[in-house]
Amino acid sequence: MTRRPAVLGGAPAFPDGLPFARVPVPPLDRVTERLRPSYEAGRLTDGPLVRTLEEVTAEHLGAHHVSSGTAGLMLALRVIAPPDRAVLLPSFTFSASAHAVAWNGLVPRFADSDGRTFHLDHDDAEFRLGNAGVIMPTHLFGAPCAAERFEALARRTGTALIFDAAHGFGATRQGRAVGSFGDAEVFSLSPTKLLTSGEGGLVATSHDDVARCLRSGRDYGNSGDDETQFVGLNARMSELHAALALEALPDIDARLARRRELGHRYCRHVGEIPGLRTQAIDDGDEVTYKAYSIIVEPEYGVERDALVDALLAEGIETRCYFCPPVHEQQPYASSTTSALPVSSDLASRVVTLPIWPAMRDADVDTIADVLTAIRHCAQHKGAAPAASPPLSNGAHRWERDERTLSRAAPGFVVLLPPNGDEPIVLRGTGVALWQALDQARNTEELANRLAAEFHADPVAVRSDIEPVIARLGAVGVLRAVS
């Protein structure tokens, strides 16, 4: 028997809540013991633990050099990007990618994404490349992009190639580790990543000159003799952050294996729910499932935002990575970027579900049951409501029927009509209307009250609320009184 979704009055699947992420951290005593020699020697930043972290991660990533730091993309672009030339990157990514470009005084040039893989579309990138000096694809959600195709494009056009690999630590592309591609690959070590140092990151490169400049750049551009070679910044990693990352490394394979188990379990479930699809992964690629994102298709019968609300009512925290896409965000909205239809479409329909190593298999199974139940209810709606009664012309007042059951959540209210009809979900103005009906009011009074609240035209507000009042009256939620 299909469960009744919480948004429609059922019991929440996770009464205590299921968080979107929970950060696994190594035991504190291990971190402090690792830190102790540096601390007692007064080496608090850019010391032996940082060097050790760079060496072991370089081996793990198959890179000749790894430079640690807190502003990897900014420094990589400062060192590698030709001046006064655009940087081509996807719009369906985290805004930090574009910010790093802008902070360097360069112009981001956005290209569209592949609707299957969510990654930068190679052909669209080639079409829009023009005289751009850098191509900067992103490895999204722990899945590697087709890095070798971008390497070939960069070689053919003489363009620098930097990968935003914030999600990519531990992933492989056709047997080759993410971290060994392009001129540089930049990893994040923030708390939600597979490997974390609390904050900070790593830049992997196979070029000696790039590595040397990165290490200089994170120390204000100082090459060691207090003579700055270029405008750098303070992006040194502290010994404390390095100690945390080093103590997290021994458990990384177990965490990675568990994420893959959960990700594969999600994939099996999602594949059985019509109207939902997940990120396409090429055969031979190894994914870390840093995040698990699905796309809500029209066939599902529920729009993305309504699904997010319904999951929240169940206690399931989600995110919408990445909505809005970067080219539609305020700092870049005035750019000359032409339409990016796939990026905009993905952003409008993406939902990222919880995934973290300590989650149980049963948690994923329950989320899948909830997704199935929500679709089932959407596909089995009751008959259309009866014709609406005549609207009050102002002489009558509207009041709530006390038999109506209501459930409020952030951004919406669910009403269970006393006549047994299908539940009604109110949003936006509808929520304000319901709140304004704390006492009987006529249509004109309601319109004036909401117009004052929203600083809007009362005539326009009345036009908005009259259909809502009619619908609520038709199912017995409201009744007209003299």
- Close Cβ partners of 29 (under 8 Å, ≥ 6 residues apart): none
Per DSSP, the three-state class of 414 is strand
Residue 363 to residues 84, 97, 199, 255, 366: CA-CA distances in angstroms?
50, 32, 29, 17, 5
Q: Say what the pLDDT of residue 482 is.
A: 63
CA-based torsion, 389, 477, 453, 330: positive or negative: negative
Contact 194, 220 (CB under 8 A): no
Indicate the domain borders of the chain.
6-23+252-379, 28-251, 397-481
- Close Cβ partners of 199 (under 8 Å, ≥ 6 residues apart): 70, 189, 190, 191, 241
**Dihedral class, residue 284 (left if φ above 0, else alpha if ψ from -120 to 50, else beta):** left
* Matching fold, domains 28-251 and 397-481: no
As a three-state string, the secondary structure of 320-349 is CCCCCCHHHCCCCCCCCCCCCHHHHHHHHH
Inter-helix orientation angle 304-313/361-379, to 10° = 130
Q: Say what the pLDDT of residue 384 is.
A: 29
Inter-helix orientation angle 28-40/239-248, to 10° = 140
Q: Among residues 396, 360, 392, 377, which one has the least CA distance to residue 462?
A: 392
Cα–chain-centroid distance for residue 247? 27
Whole-angstrom distance, CA of residue 186 vs CA of residue 165: 5
Q: Say what the pLDDT of residue 475 is.
A: 77
Where the chain has pLDDT below 70, the residues are: 1, 381-396, 420-421, 482
Contact 184, 205 (CB under 8 A): yes
The CATH number of domain 6-23+252-379, selected from 3.90.1150.10, 3.40.640.10, 1.10.150.530, 3.90.45.10: 3.90.1150.10
Whole-angstrom distance, CA of residue 221 vs CA of residue 269: 51
Return the amino acid letter for 115: G
Q: Which CATH architecture has domain 397-481?
A: Orthogonal Bundle (1.10)
Q: Which residues pair with 68 in a beta bridge?
A: 202
Q: Which residues pair with 138 in a beta bridge?
A: 164
CA-based torsion, 72, 76, 77, 79: positive or negative: positive
Percent of the chain at pLDDT exceeding 90: 71
Q: Name the DSSP letter for residue 298.
A: G
Contact 346, 112 (CB under 8 A): no
Q: Looking at the domain covering 28-251, what would its CATH class be? A: alpha beta
Helix residue spans in 62-177 (DSSP H)? 72-80, 95-103, 122-128, 147-157
Q: Say what the pTM is.
A: 0.81
Cis bond upstream, residue 324 (ω within 30): yes
Q: What is the pLDDT of residues 345-372, one digit of tens each?
A: 999 999 999 999 999 999 999 999 999 9
